[in-house]
Amino acid sequence: MNKKNIRKKVGEFLQSNKERIEIKVPKNFSLYWVRNPIAVAWRMLILGILTKVPPMNLKNWIFKLLGYNFGKDVCLPGFIDIDPFFPELITLKEGILVGGSTTIKPWIVKDGKLTLGKIWAGRRVLFAGWSGLRPGAKIHTNTITGLHCLIDTEIPKDSFVVGHNKILKTWSTEEVERHFGESKHNPHYARNYKKETTKFRTDPSVRKITLRNDGNRLNAGCDWWRARPVWQIYWKGALVEASLLCPFEPIRKMLMWIMGVRWGKNFKLGKKVMFDHIYGDMVRFGDNCVIEDGAYFDGHDYTISEGIYGRTTIGNNFHAKKGAYVRSGLVIGNNVTLEEHAVLIKDAKDNEVWAGAPAKLVEK
């Protein structure tokens, strides 16, 4: 099929009500055959800036100007990989919360075929970090995805999805209320939020706090700025970003020490290790800890209806291998190893080895 016919078929699809289409393309096919290179370059530039910007109404307004179909209070943190070629195929309804490092891509070129499809997510859906949305993804309201989830089909409402389109469970009425309950618009919400987060920062005995979203926003993530003074979030975030770019371990360690992370003797810090911008300074390591490249230490969790902040305590001889992830608020014992890309979401006792996503105990 020649360039003209491919362009025609793509144009017809974009004007139609079809959810997905496959078009045969030659080996030398380029998306620039069907998209304006200048418009794509402009969107790439703006998206590159927005990936460093925290969630805010201005950010969503810019996305809408670029052609994306976003509803009210869509919460998009940094490090989201969203496609610059077909913004009109991406619809995120109001109140959606998107986890970091999620990829939203409505096209695939593989085996001589271009697959194009709409991506649509209903009201107050939660995508966990590292999720992937592909052509044909249609996710209905009150759905939550697991970490590293990949979706390219229709998912019914009230679902918990893991892996590749695998529905692990359907939420009960009580679980829907817990995870997606509407705000009660408590008039003291802002004051209570400040009181609880201040106590969390100043009282080391408080390991974790969970705050109900009872304000005016449609998901808890939109109130990230209430977690602590905003200047602190930006300052700590700047230190983390600088460490991600730094090739020299002594400087990386200096930056993280200034940010507030603490450790004992013989601490090894790899490249591109991420500490949470909000409460990454709540992570404490013991002696002889090794953190390999690309590990991630979180300081918060957001659901649609709850904001959760925690301090993480890690014992001696801890080893986080490449790409390992540690959830906020955990207590990890001595001599614990996380295998590559393990996603630890629960406490680990002494002398344990964890692997997988979510991580499971594989050796004791």
DSSP secondary structure of 199-221: HHHH-TT--EEEEE--SSSSSGG
pLDDT at 165: 95
pLDDT at 2: 83
Cα 183 from chain centroid? 23
Q: Report how far residue 243's alpha carbon sits from residue 275's, in angstroms, rounded to the nearest whole number.
A: 10
Helices (H), the chain: 3-14, 37-50, 57-65, 173-180, 189-202, 230-245, 249-259
Per the listing, tokens 């959760």 go with 308
How far apart, in Å, are the Cα atoms of 348 and each of 24, 345, 359? 50, 9, 10
pLDDT at 305: 93
For 107, phi then psi, to 5°, come to -145, 155
Per-residue pLDDT tens digits for 111-166: 999 999 999 999 999 999 889 999 999 999 999 998 889 999 999 999 999 999 99
**Residue 188: CB atoms within 10 Å:** 9
Three-state DSSP class for residue 126: strand
pLDDT at 350: 96
pLDDT at 245: 95
Q: Do domains 3-169 and 230-363 have the same CATH topology?
A: yes
Spatial CA neighbour of 279 closest among 245, 327, 319: 327
Q: Report how far residue 223's alpha carbon sits from residue 257's, in angstroms, rounded to the nearest whole number.
A: 27
pLDDT at 363: 77
Specify the CATH architecture of the domain 3-169. Answer: 3 Solenoid (2.160)
pLDDT under 70: residue ranges of the chain: none
Q: Which tokens in the block code for residue 279?
A: 């409460």
pLDDT at 58: 94
**Does 3.30.420.40 match the CATH number of domain 230-363?**
no
pLDDT at 52: 86
| Angle separating helix axes 230-245 and 249-259, nearest 10 degrees | 170
Burial 137-150 (b: 16+ CB within 10 A, else e): bbbbbbbbbbbbbb
Q: Which tokens in the block code for residue 35?
A: 């998209």
Per-residue pLDDT tens digits for 67-86: 999 999 999 988 899 999 99
Q: What is the mean pLDDT of the chain?
A: 94
Cα torsion 274, 279, 285, 289 to 10°: value is: 0
Domain range annotation of the chain: 3-169, 230-363
pLDDT at 79: 84
